[in-house]
Chains A and B, each alone.
Chain A
Amino acid sequence: MSENEKNVGLFVTCLVDLFRPTVAFAAVKLMEDAGCSICVPERQTCCGQPAYNSGDNEDAKAMAQMVIEEFEQFDYVVAPSGSCAAMIRVHYPELFADCPDWLTRAQNLSTKTYELLTFLSDVLHVDKVEAALDRTATYHDSCSGLRELGIKQQPRKLLDSVEGLELVEAEQAERCCGFGGTFCLKFSDISSRITDDKCDDLLKTGAQTVLGGDLGCLMNIAGRMTRRGETVEVRHIAEVLADMCDEVPPISQGKG
């Protein structure tokens, strides 16, 4: 690692690690191209959000402590997911509100943690990428990223520079996809009804590809789409920006 490279710790997120490693490789490529050196601590699993949203603060705290210990050494911490980044940025400090030592460490980590697209746009000032995809695409704004981190223009601006890609906006791009973490398991029927509305809205655009920045939402949308027999492709935006769509089929679809 050279001296003027930014030392970035990649928080892979559990879903990307398990289900879609290509997203993490794409994130690494995008950040390396922009002059970062990426380190991936092995001692990482989950940010603790499922526990936190289930009211299990003790376990959430234990997981948060592991993340803090492992990641506070970096200049920046980046996650290819709005909801995991928001967990660290927004909710870690809340979690340790009555525990002064950990609060300081949580706040310190919070200020240097970013979601991938905001990191590229707002910190590294990347405004174009070397990538091509001959498709019409529509972008789904995942809730946490949108409302807790203000991710809205960044992905669109970056997608604008992808050769051959035409972006069409869905009428309800900001509406929840019905995933909601454990919500989709506990209230499967309601969740899938919300997901159906989302699918209809996305399909109405006529886009060939649905893009988003959160793998949870994307797996939910893609899983419902293939269950309904739709052929629209669903992908994480990082795969497109890093020009890696050839390396892996769309989510929930076979190699074709």
Chain B
Amino acid sequence: MKLNAHNFKENAKKALKDNDLQASLQKLGTGFPLKRLAAMERLPEFEDLRDQARDIKDHTLRHLDFYLEQFESRVVETGGKVHWARDIKDGRKIVYEICEAVGAKTITKGKSMIGEEMAINEYLEEKGLIPIETDLGEYIIQLRNEPPSHIIAPAIHLRKSHVEEAFRKTHTELPKDRNLDAPEDLLVEARTMLRKKFIAADVGITGANFMVAETGSTVIVTNEGNGDLTQTLPRIHIVLCSIEKVVPTLEDCTTLLRVLARSATGQEQSVYTTFSTGPRGETDPDGPDEFHVVILDNGRSRMLGHDTHDMLRCIRCSACINHCPVYQSVGGHAYGSIYPGPMGSVLTPALYGLEKSCDLPNASTMCGKCEEVCPVRIPIPKMLRSWRKKQWEDGPVPTMQRLAMTWWAWWALRPKLYHRVAGWKMRIMGFMGRKSGHIKAFPLKNGWTENRDFPAPEGKTFQQRWSEKGGRRT
């Protein structure tokens, strides 16, 4: 998708007025978080597992080159191929060349955030190929020509009626009088359409939640099983992933899987957890003839050892998104990036540049809920703050904001003068709000009184009253 993060404020304004979206968000705000809580309560060692998960990721990141090379060797040993993509352009080219070499026309796709990052569908379409999303949510937004609004529930912003509308518009064989009221009817309709595509596909593209270095396997978790059909039916299987997804061993992978589904949807395990190792072997009943893994960097190696290093621990569970009061208010599209919410506000500037996503690190109340729920304990507020620091140092801060802060600091560093002037000001404001206890508006428009009353001060400041009372001073 095209980055639209610089329009965050306007996007958010629109989102707040979109009633359908607000209704969908209302459900999300309680749905996933409550399920996560219940899952945690069923697993007393959850907190210890989080520590282990963090440590596994930290260890892997410290030896990233080693594990990536080990992974590559294992993939090659099992008959597959690894392709290194420095950036999005590289990645797209690699995927297209694989498709071209086998004369592919139709491509089925499982859900992949790296695919979204590469905007691989648009690219393949430009080249005359037909990519078809097979994850139900992704399929729906593909029909609607929209980006995902959530990293694990891409169509969470939509209501049932939107889905029906999309099917009626694009499924030309669908009889007009077929009733699609029940969610099951919609599912059957999607399944009927997708089955045909699975069988016809030449290439299957999936993402990967993990790459296991010791075995050369890639791992996906899904709830629909579409990912399995995507990777076993076509002749060619392409896995799209990124450098930080590697883990040393199957054992490590299991630990991460135990925190992943619980943090995401509150499930103990996703319905399907699928390990893919190499192409179809001689004794295998099915599987692809070719197995390709495309590993994308796209700015991630630049994060190593820098302020956002810890963000590379992220396992894309979406817990931080689900719990974020800002996301719950404006939804994913407002962020203008495929990675929304708190994790996106750290990641988007790192991948696409801070100047293109200035608002994102600021679009947080710093409430800390994201860090509280993150299974790999990523200190998200700290990293948002480090982006803000960079913004402050390098320039892209609105002049008024910079002036206001500098002005405040100037006063705050001159206590004597500050107390004297504050004394006068509070008297005036106290007088303004003496009856109602608040001030409705100030002469200059400001963000506070747009939406709230400004509580009036009592009158004299504490410092004045303490002096008058003869309270103890240093």
Binding site for B on A (CB under 8 A): 1, 12, 14, 16-22, 24-25, 28, 37-46, 48, 50-57, 59, 62-63, 66, 70, 73, 94, 143-144, 147-148, 175-176, 178-195, 197, 219-220, 222-224, 226-227, 248-255
Given A18-B457, A53-B366, residue A45 in contact with residue B412 (CB < 8 A): yes
Instruction: Give Cα distance in the complex from A51 to B269, angstroms.
Output: 43
Instruction: Name B438's contact: one of A24, A48, A194, A223 (CB within 8 Å).
Output: A223
Instruction: Give Cα distance in the complex from A189 to B12, angstroms.
Output: 8
Cβ of A144 to closest chain B Cβ, rounded Å: 7
Within 8 A of A (CB), among B426-465: 426, 434-438, 446-448, 450-458, 460-463, 465
Name B15's closest neighbour in chain A (CB-CB): A190
Q: Do the beta carbons of A53 and B453 come within 8 Å of each other?
A: no
Q: Do the beta carbons of A254 and B418 come within 8 Å of each other?
A: no
Cβ of A55 to closest chain B Cβ, rounded Å: 3
Question: Which chain A residues lie closer than 8 Å to B438 at the CB level?
Answer: 223, 226, 252-253
Question: Which chain B residues lie closer than 8 Å to A37 at the CB level?
Answer: 472
Instruction: Give Cα distance in the complex from A177 to B352, angstroms.
Output: 31
Instruction: Name A195's contact: one of B328, B385, B415, B452 (CB within 8 Å).
Output: B452
- Cβ of B137 within 8 Å of any chain A Cβ, yes or no, is no
- Cβ of B326 within 8 Å of any chain A Cβ, yes or no, is yes
- Cβ of B182 within 8 Å of any chain A Cβ, yes or no, is no
- Cβ of B474 within 8 Å of any chain A Cβ, yes or no, is yes
Instruction: Name A227's contact: one of B365, B387, B408, B451 (CB within 8 Å).
Output: B451
Instruction: Give Cα distance in the complex from A147 to B323, angstroms.
Output: 14
Given A12-B463, A57-B389, A66-B413, residue A187 in contact with residue B452 (CB < 8 A): no
Question: Which chain B residues lie closer than 8 Å to A253 at the CB level?
Answer: 436-438
Q: Do the beta carbons of A188 and B447 come within 8 Å of each other?
A: yes
Q: Do the beta carbons of B326 and A194 come within 8 Å of each other?
A: yes
Question: Which chain B residues lie closer than 8 Å to A14 at the CB level?
Answer: 412
Name A251's closest neighbour in chain B (CB-CB): B455
Question: Which chain A residues lie closer than 8 Å to B369 at the CB level?
Answer: 143, 147, 175-176
Count A-B pairs with CB separation below 8 Å: 225
Known: A12-B462, A55-B390. 10 other contacts (CB 8 A): A17-B463, A21-B462, A57-B392, A63-B412, A66-B413, A66-B415, A179-B365, A184-B448, A193-B329, A254-B435
Output the residue of B461, B465, B473 with the most chain A CB within 10 A.
B461
Question: Which chain A residues lie closer than 8 Å to B362 at the CB level?
Answer: 183, 186-187
Q: Do the beta carbons of A187 and B363 come within 8 Å of each other?
A: yes
Name B368's closest neighbour in chain A (CB-CB): A147
Cβ of B323 to closest chain A Cβ, rounded Å: 9
Main SS at interface, chain B: helix
Instruction: Give Cα distance in the complex from A191 to B296, angstroms.
Output: 37
Given A53-B385, A178-B325, A252-B455, residue A188 in contact with residue B405 (CB < 8 A): no
- Cβ of B411 within 8 Å of any chain A Cβ, yes or no, is yes
- Cβ of B170 within 8 Å of any chain A Cβ, yes or no, is no
Name B26's closest neighbour in chain A (CB-CB): A197
Instruction: Name A220's contact: one of B406, B434, B452 (CB within 8 Å).
Output: B452
Question: Which chain A residues lie closer than 8 Å to B405 at the CB level?
Answer: 50-51, 54, 56, 59
Instruction: Give Cα distance in the complex from A197 to B28, angstroms.
Output: 14
Cβ of A31 to closest chain B Cβ, rounded Å: 12
Instruction: Name B392's contact: one of A25, A54, A190, A222 (CB within 8 Å).
Output: A54
Q: Do the beta carbons of A189 and B13 come within 8 Å of each other?
A: yes
Instruction: Name B325's contact: one of A1, A176, A184, A186 (CB within 8 Å).
Output: A176
Question: Which chain A residues lie closer than 8 Å to B451 at the CB level?
Answer: 188-189, 191-192, 195, 224, 227
Cβ of B98 to closest chain A Cβ, rounded Å: 43
Question: Which chain B residues lie closer than 8 Å to A59 at the CB level?
Answer: 405-406, 409, 413
Instruction: Name B472's contact: one of A38, A54, A55 (CB within 8 Å).
Output: A38
Instruction: Give Cα distance in the complex from A124 to B453, angstroms.
Output: 37
Q: Do the beta carbons of A223 and B462 come within 8 Å of each other?
A: no
- Cβ of B471 within 8 Å of any chain A Cβ, yes or no, is yes
Instruction: Name A39's contact: one of B416, B465, B473 (CB within 8 Å).
Output: B473
- Cβ of B391 within 8 Å of any chain A Cβ, yes or no, is yes
Instruction: Give Cα distance in the complex from A148 to B460, angstroms.
Output: 32
Cβ of A131 to closest chain B Cβ, rounded Å: 20
Within 8 A of A (CB), among B176-200: none
- Cβ of B286 within 8 Å of any chain A Cβ, yes or no, is no
Encoded as 1 (CB less than 8 Å from any A CB) or 0, chain B from 70 to 107 comes to 00000000000000000000000000000000000000
Q: Do the beta carbons of A190 and B437 come within 8 Å of each other?
A: no
Given A21-B460, A189-B16, residue A147 in contact with residue B363 (CB < 8 A): no
